[in-house]
C-alpha cells in the first residue's frame, strides 16, 4: 500500500465497480483522506470575483476595492491558505521537499487545463530568482504542472531577493517595486495570458506581472493561484 506523503500513514485503496468496468489504469493516491480533508477548497460562487478570497457572497472584497482597475484582470484561487496549507508550503516550498509537488499536481493541472480550454490562453508561471533556483532547485509552481506547456515570458530583475516576500508585512509587500521584466525576444501582442502562481496574499506580485504583460500588448491577463 502507498504511504501518504504528508503523514506517512498507509493509504487504503478502495476498488469500485465503475473503475473495474472502465479498464482504466489505477491512479495511486499520494495523500490520505484525513490529510486531504484538512485543505479547504474555495467555491467560486462564494469568492471575491477579483482575487478569489473565500467569503459568504461573491462580492468584491475590501482588498480588491483598494486596487485600481487593471484592464479586466482577476484571480481565481483553489484553496484557502489555512493551517494545513501553511504547513504544506513550509515543507514543499521553504524546506524544498520536491516530492510534495505531487500533492496538488493533479488538481492544479486540471484547473489550468479547464481555463485555457475556454480562452486559448498561454500559460505563464511567476519566475523565481536565480539564487532561489540554485538554493531550492525548482520553481514550486512549475512542479505542479509538468505536463502543461508554459511560455518563458517573464524573468526577475534581481538575481536574489534581499528580503523574501514571506518575511514582509502587508505594508512592505504593497510597496514592492516591479520585480519582473520581459525575456527577450518576446512578442505577446494580442495574446490571452493565464498567470499561475502559488499564493495570492496582497496581490502585489501577480498584479505587477499582469500590468507588465498588459503594457506590452497582451490582450487579456487573468490569474490562477493554488491558495488565497
| Helix, strand or coil, per DSSP, at residue 64 | helix
62 domain-assigned:
yes
Residue 167 belongs to some domain of the structure:
no
CA 42 to chain centre: 13
pLDDT above 90: percentage of residues in the chain: 78
Specify the pLDDT at position 67: 93
Q: Is the pTM of this model over 0.85?
A: yes
Q: Which domain holds residue 223?
A: 31-160+177-227
**Helix (H), strand (E), coil (C) string for 191-216:** CEEEEEEEECCCCHHHHHHHHHHHHC
- Judge whether 21 lies within some domain: no
Indicate the DSSP class of residue 16: -
pLDDT number for residue 133 = 94
Question: Does the pLDDT at position 25 exceed 70?
Answer: no
- 8 lies in some domain: no
Q: What is the CATH number of the domain that holds 59?
A: 3.40.50
Residue 136 lies in a domain: yes
The CA–CA distances, whole Å, from 10 to 5, 27, 28, 97 equal 10, 15, 12, 20
Give pLDDT tens digits for 102-126.
999 999 999 999 999 988 889 999 9
In a domain, 134, yes or no: yes
Task: Kindly state whether residue 19 falls inside one of the protein's structural domains.
Answer: no
Q: What is the dihedral of CA 219, 114, 52, 180, to 10 degrees?
A: -50
Q: How many domains does the chain fold into?
A: 1
Please compute the mean of the pLDDT values over residues 25-42 and round it to a whole number: 89
In-domain check, residue 16:
no
Q: How many CB atoms lie within 10 A of CB 214?
A: 18
Amino acid at each position: 500500500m502507498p504511504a501518504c506523503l504528508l503523514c506517512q500513514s498507509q493509504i487504503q485503496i478502495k476498488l469500485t465497480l465503475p473503475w473495474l468496468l472502465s479498464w482504466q489504469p489505477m491512479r495511486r493516491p499520494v495523500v490520505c483522506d484525513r490529510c486531504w480533508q484538512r485543505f479547504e477548497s474555495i467555491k467560486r460562487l462564494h469568492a471575491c470575483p477579483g482575487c478569489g478570497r473565500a467569503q459568504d457572497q461573491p462580492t468584491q472584497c475590501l482588498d480588491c476595492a483598494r486596487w485600481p482597475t487593471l484592464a479586466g484582470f482577476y484571480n481565481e484561487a483553489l484553496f484557502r491558505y489555512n493551517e494545513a496549507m501553511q504547513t504544506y508550503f513550509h515543507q514543499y516550498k521553504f524546506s524544498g521537499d520536491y516530492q510534495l509537488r505531487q500533492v496538488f499536481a493533479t488538481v492544479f493541472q486540471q484547473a489550468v487545463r479547464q481555463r485555457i480550454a475556454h480562452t486559448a490562453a498561454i500559460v505563464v508561471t511567476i519566475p523565481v530568482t536565480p539564487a532561489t533556483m540554485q538554493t531550492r532547485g525548482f520553481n514550486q509552481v512549475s512542479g505542479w504542472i509538468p505536463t502543461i506547456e508554459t511560455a518563458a515570458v517573464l524573468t526577475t530583475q534581481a538575481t536574489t531577493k534581499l528580503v523574501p516576500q514571506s518575511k514582509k508585512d502587508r505594508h512592505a509587500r504593497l510597496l514592492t517595486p516591479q520585480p519582473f521584466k520581459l525575456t527577450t525576444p518576446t512578442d505577446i501582442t494580442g495574446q490571452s495570458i493565464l498567470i499561475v502562481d502559488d499564493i495570492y496574499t496582497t496581490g502585489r506580485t501577480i498584479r505587477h506581472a499582469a500590468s507588465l504583460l498588459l503594457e506590452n500588448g497582451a490582450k487579456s491577463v487573468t490569474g490562477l493561484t493554488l491558495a488565497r
